[in-house]
Chains A and B, each alone.
Chain A
């Protein structure tokens, strides 16, 4: 299989699975589950095959395919992968099957749920491999459709309202993206990410975009910023998030926070920074304040939140904001200490991956607690889970401490690198962000104590069972990876370091 067709297959196989399930008629439930699992696992297989072709010596794209598609709009079928893209493909490969299994476990209408989920997974992968706006935007927008139906059809009682809000917020961002890329196309005649970055690097883009009017560069930058910012989310575009994560089915929440929020982070690195470096640098100060607000307010809101999944949602806002904080610190610094830049950028990508693992695991833990207690998500209704379900408590504890950034677990590496880099670039911002580390420690430990320690109380009755085999199969691999990547962080660093070094080199050029 050629490398290029691997990229197509990566996206196409989950979509084909979705199509088969959607049109397949009345398959027995076991066949539906098997087919869905296979289609979902294909990502991990293709990801591994692509990983085998990864060359750490090459910082750029190691696989690429580019064929003309729509001549009259200068659109190409352009897919490619570098270390960053591969990182997110692998994250999707790990989380996709686990989140799918969680979604289908107790779902009604298994076939429909599986089809929607596979459509979502394929679309997310498309976002990570597409390098031309048109295919990228197809996948970006298409991912909303399954997310909408999964949240409203399989989610909580207020799933409909949450889904509507989620999609309308994201559509506002999409309108911004469309507006921005129409401007880029009007100015340059291309919407290809690589070509635009190239035009930017040679300095032609600024003149061409400025030719559309004095407002055009700023509006285009703002459009992309909002479009990506809603998805990540960047404070203050996050207000769709708590209700969405709380109302979505647990498996979908795992995927939303683990993978879909990374679509936004990825876009910041793939689109916003390469095409608008000057604008990003000029507005770095206010953006740093927004990212810092996300870090701090996310942690504080999590501390104040009495409901399981809302707490985790705010905690996600906090963790994802670290990635953006690192990028904005670098973008704002201009010529700066290469080691600090490299550290912050590598840290941001590693953090994005690790947050995906730990946030997905924590949402799964929340799902287990909700299921055992008959649907309550009130933190005060739990107590003494450790006594009732010691193995569950052990795995949940690892996930908690990973999220908290305990050295030796995966979460530590990214945050450490980010803080090391940001301290050198923006000492004050880094100092303020450390407050959030403290708050995170307080609310996560508080959660641990309230829910897991002490005598059994509230919803934790004698019938509170420990993990069953299916739950082991989800939480086990996640916890294993947390420990593995905590002990051997070079596994991830190897993917992103060449890129971070190359980026730092371009920044420190005279």
Chain B
């Protein structure tokens, strides 16, 4: 029997248990969270081992829920959702490992954390639009409390901005979908029913509804210029939450675009295609340039996430199967790499040095104080730069390929983004870990900050970093592991848009 359909429920149950256990002891809550995360990893692993790639969504559970409206509790999986479930399992497990030192209200922290994870699993497995939307909302609410309760740097502001953007985005999505349900006369909220309903809409309605749904989801995916919640939110969030926010929650938006907006409204998509593509290219380059001049270490990573998600959106914008596969692979890849980068900044460096200011870090011999963190960050940075051998490379290559086939100038713009990513990553590696400490006057060496040698990386930190690094390198050297799932799924008729070339 497959464990996959139980993941969302089991994770929610884990959240309740963690809350209960947290009332007794922090260690018990941690253990519950760890076990729940590992259950997800196990279930995803078993499902992956048994998975047979196909072009169809394979139903896991399908029971009526709100019969009058034709709403069903319908979970299903294909290669795309499975890749993202595996990503969620990896990121959630690593997140618990990097939250080992959370000391305040541990039970509540992990309860919220697991609720968020459960919502994410649910979104990726839903085959009913209403259900998907419910899980989507379940994922949004805990974000506010996690950031506002355990965050840093203007956390109330960051949390509020994050949640307002998320709610505004989901309101647009809801409006678009309900409109389609009504105007197209759908019989239910299944993917098929809504696709048919959308096809019955007039051209103008289709274009408008696509706009609502796509840009609603794209807000969460961090599409320029709707991205501004992302850097502030990621910086304000506690480490595990920023790992999940950038690593997985942004993927919810991209997944919504890929699973719902594009297949439901191919006509509307064709009308918006050029706009989306240029916004994606602008986001890749703009966010990269902003990352190049940040002084806060975590803001560099925050903006780099926006830049990398731009590649996902670019892949979607081309509508080419190659590039859609690349976009899905990039979702996985960025999920892992962003998790790693935020873990180094938030947990390994900030918790020990109590600063993320690159000017202050530059004055410390960080590579000697924290050699482990430096090594992990260098590897993660190389992955983030899109070096071949790491998972980002095949993803970006496939996206560029699709961009070439659709609009060569998008490819040129995105290649410029690859260069900028190299520059800002190199800059932050240099500043944060290999700074000009030798130039610091001798007196500075006697300040208490420098005299205290930070502790070495703990076992949970090592395990978490190892898990994420192994994932990015494994997929970098053998992308077929995921592409063999993803590409057949994209053969489904749902993804056959009448993609026309922008440039003849």
Given that A72-B487, A186-B401 are contacting pairs, would A216 and B389 also be in contact in the complex, using a CB cutoff of 8 Å?
Answer: no
Chain A contributes a number of interface residues (CB within 8 A of B) equal to 36
Q: Please pick, from B322, B325, B402, B418, the residue contacting A178 in the complex, using a CB distance under 8 A.
A: B418
For the complex, give the distance between the alpha carbons of A176 and B378 in Å.
Answer: 23
Q: When the two chains form their complex, are residues A70 and B397 in contact, meaning their CB atoms are under 8 A apart?
A: no
Nearest residue, chain B, Cβ from A152: B434
Q: Mark A161-192, 1 if CB is under 8 A from B, else 0.
A: 00010011001101110110111011100000
Chain A residues near B385 (CB, 8 Å)?
Answer: 171
Task: Check if B479 is an interface residue, CB within 8 A of chain A.
Answer: yes
User: Can you name the residue of chain B whose Cβ is closest to the Cβ of A136?
Assistant: B388
Chain A residues with CB below 8 A from B45, complex form: none
Indicate which residue in A72, A138, A168, A187 contacts B388 across the interface (CB closer than 8 Å): A138
Residues of A close to B478: CB separation below 8 A: 70
| CB of B372 closer than 8 Å to a CB of A | no
Q: Which residue of B lies closest to A185 (CB)?
A: B401
Q: Does A141 contact B (CB under 8 A)?
A: yes
Of all chain B residues, the one with the shortest Cβ separation from A179 is B415
**Contact yes or no, A178 B400, CB < 8 A:** yes
Chain A residues with CB under 8 Å of B415's CB are 175-176, 178-179, 182, 223
Contact check, B480 vs A216: say whether CB atoms are below 8 A apart: no
Find out whether the CB atom of A219 lies under 8 angstroms from the CB atom of B408. yes
Q: How many residues of B contact A (CB 8 A)?
A: 41
Task: Verify A71–B480 contact, CB threshold 8 A.
Answer: yes
Task: Let me know if A70 and B419 touch, CB within 8 A.
Answer: no
- Please name the residue on chain A nearest to B404 by beta carbon: A186
**Once the chains bind, are A213 and B388 in contact (CB under 8 Å)?**
no
Pick from B400, B484, B503: contact of A179, CB under 8 Å = B400
Chain B residue numbers with a CB within 8 Å of A223 are 415
A191 nearest CB neighbor, chain B only: B397
Q: Between A and B, how many residue pairs show CB distances below 8 Å?
A: 103
- Which residues in chain B, 383-425, are within 8 Å of chain A measured between CB atoms? 385-389, 394, 396-398, 400-405, 408, 411-412, 415-416, 418-419, 422-423
Given A142-B387, A171-B419, A182-B400: A70 in contact with B411 (beta carbons within 8 A) = no
A58 within 8 A of B: no
CB neighbours (8 Å) of A152 from chain B are 430, 434
User: B427 an interface residue at 8 Å Cβ cutoff?
Assistant: yes
B382 in the interface (beta carbon within 8 A) = yes
- Residue of A whose beta carbon sits closest to that of B482: A72
Could you tell me if A183 and B411 are in contact, using CB atoms closer than 8 angstroms? yes
Contact between chains at B397 and A213 (CB < 8 Å): no
Task: Name the residue among B388, B426, B434 with the largest chain A CB count within 10 angstroms.
Answer: B388
Q: Is B483 an interface residue (CB 8 A)?
A: yes
Residues from chain B with a CB closer than 8 A to the CB of A186 are 322, 400-402, 404-405
The proximity string for B residues 36-49 relative to A, scoring 1 for CB distances below 8 Å and 0 otherwise, is 00000000000000
Q: Which residues of A contact B487 (CB under 8 A)?
A: 72
Residue in B closest to A180 when the chains form the complex, CB atoms: B415
The B-contacting residues of A in range 54-105, CB under 8 angstroms, are 70-73
B434, A72: Cβ atoms closer than 8 Å: no
**A134 to chain B: closest residue by CB:** B388
Compute how far the CA of A168 lies from the CA of B419 in the bound complex, rounded to whole angstroms. Answer: 8
Q: How far is the CB of A376 from chain B (nearest CB, A)?
A: 21
Partner of B426, one of A168, A176, A179, A181: A168
**Residues of A contacting B422 with CB < 8 Å?**
167-168, 171, 174-175
Q: A70-B480, A168-B423, A171-B422 are in contact. Are A182 and B430 (CB under 8 A)?
A: no
Q: Is B404 in contact with A216, judged by CB distance below 8 angstroms?
A: yes
Restricting to B33-79, which residues have a CB under 8 Å from any CB of A?
none
Whether B462 sits at the interface, judged by CB under 8 Å, is no
Chain B positions within 8 Å of A134 at CB level:
388
Looking at chain A's contact residues, the main secondary structure is helix
- Check: B436 CB closer than 8 A to any chain A CB: yes
Partner of A137 from B388, B418, B419, B504 at Cβ < 8 Å: B388
B483 x A72 contact (CB < 8 A): yes
Is residue A487 within 8 Å, beta carbon to beta carbon, of the partner chain?
A: no
Known A-B contacts A138-B388, A171-B423, A183-B411; the reply to A164 vs B430 at CB < 8 A is yes
B436 and chain A: residue at smallest CB distance: A160
Find chain B residues with CB under 8 A from A145 CB.
378, 382
Q: Is the CB of A215 within 8 A of B397?
A: no
Report A318 CB to chain B, min CB distance, Å.
Answer: 28
Q: Would you give the 0/1 interface string for A284-328, flagging 1 where the beta carbon is closer than 8 Å to chain B? A: 000000000000000000000000000000000000000000000
User: Which residues of chain B are near A181, meaning CB under 8 Å?
Assistant: 397
A212 sits at the interface (CB 8 A): yes
User: Separation in Å of the B456 CB from the closest CB of chain A?
Assistant: 15
Tell me the complex Cα distance, A17–B394, Å: 28
Interface residues of A in 215-244 (CB under 8 A from B): 215-216, 219, 223
Q: Are B404 and A183 in contact (CB under 8 A)?
A: yes
Q: In whole angstroms, what is the CA distance A138 to B405 when docked?
A: 24
Contact between chains at B404 and A73 (CB < 8 Å): no
Residues of B near A71 (CB, < 8 A) are 480, 484
Assembly CA distance A171 to B288 (angstroms): 15
Cβ–Cβ < 8 Å partners of A178 in chain B: 386, 396-397, 400, 415, 418
Nearest-CB residue, chain B, relative to A167: B426
Q: Give every chain A residue within 8 A of B419 (Cβ-Cβ).
A: 168, 171-172, 174-175
In whole angstroms, how far apart are the Cα atoms of A152 and B478 in the complex? 32
Please, how many angstroms separate the alpha-carbon atoms of A71 and B482 in the complex? 12
Bound form: Cα–Cα A134–B390 in Å = 12
Contact A141 B394 (CB under 8 A): no
Which residues of chain A are within 8 angstroms of B396 by Cβ–Cβ distance?
Answer: 178
Question: In the assembled complex, which residues on chain A have CB atoms less than 8 Å from the CB atom of B325?
Answer: 72
* With A72-B480, A73-B394, A186-B401: A164-B382 Cβ-Cβ less than 8 Å: no
- Chain B's closest residue to A168 (CB) is B423
Counting chain A CB atoms within 10 Å of each CB, the highest count among B408, B434, B479, B480 belongs to: B408
| Residue of A with least CB distance to B394 | A73
Verify B503–A213 contact, CB threshold 8 A.
yes
Query: Do residues B388 and A160 form an inter-chain contact, with CB atoms below 8 A?
Result: no
From 227 to 273 in chain B, residues with beta carbon under 8 angstroms from any chain A beta carbon are none
Closest-CB distance, A491 to chain B (whole angstroms): 36
Residues of B within 8 Å of A153, CB to CB, are: 434
Which residues in B have their C-beta under 8 angstroms from that of A174?
A: 418-419, 422
Report Cα–Cα, A313/B387, bound state, in Å.
28
Q: Min CB distance, A135 to chain B, in Å?
A: 8
Which residues of chain B have C-beta atoms less than 8 A from A72's C-beta?
A: 325, 479-480, 483-484, 487
A141 to B425, CA, bound (A): 15
CA–CA, A216 to B408, complex, Å? 7
Residues of A within 8 A of B480 (CB): 70-72
What are 21 inter-chain pairs, A to B, with CB distance below 8 A? Answer: A70-B483, A72-B325, A73-B397, A73-B479, A134-B388, A137-B388, A145-B378, A145-B382, A167-B426, A174-B419, A174-B422, A175-B415, A178-B400, A178-B415, A179-B411, A181-B397, A183-B404, A185-B401, A186-B401, A187-B404, A213-B504
10 closest residue pairs by CB, A with B: A182-B400, A179-B415, A171-B422, A72-B483, A186-B404, A175-B419, A186-B401, A138-B388, A213-B408, A175-B415
Given A142-B389, A145-B378, A179-B400, 16 more pairs with CB closer than 8 A: A70-B479, A137-B388, A138-B389, A141-B387, A145-B382, A164-B426, A174-B418, A175-B419, A178-B386, A178-B397, A178-B415, A182-B397, A182-B415, A185-B401, A186-B404, A187-B404
Residues of chain A having any CB pair with chain B under 8 Å:
70-73, 134, 137-138, 141-142, 145, 148, 152-153, 160, 164, 167-168, 171-172, 174-176, 178-179, 181-183, 185-187, 212-213, 215-216, 219, 223
* B contact residues vs A (CB 8 Å cutoff): 322, 325, 378, 382, 385-389, 394, 396-398, 400-405, 408, 411-412, 415-416, 418-419, 422-423, 426-427, 430, 434, 436, 478-480, 483-484, 487, 503-504
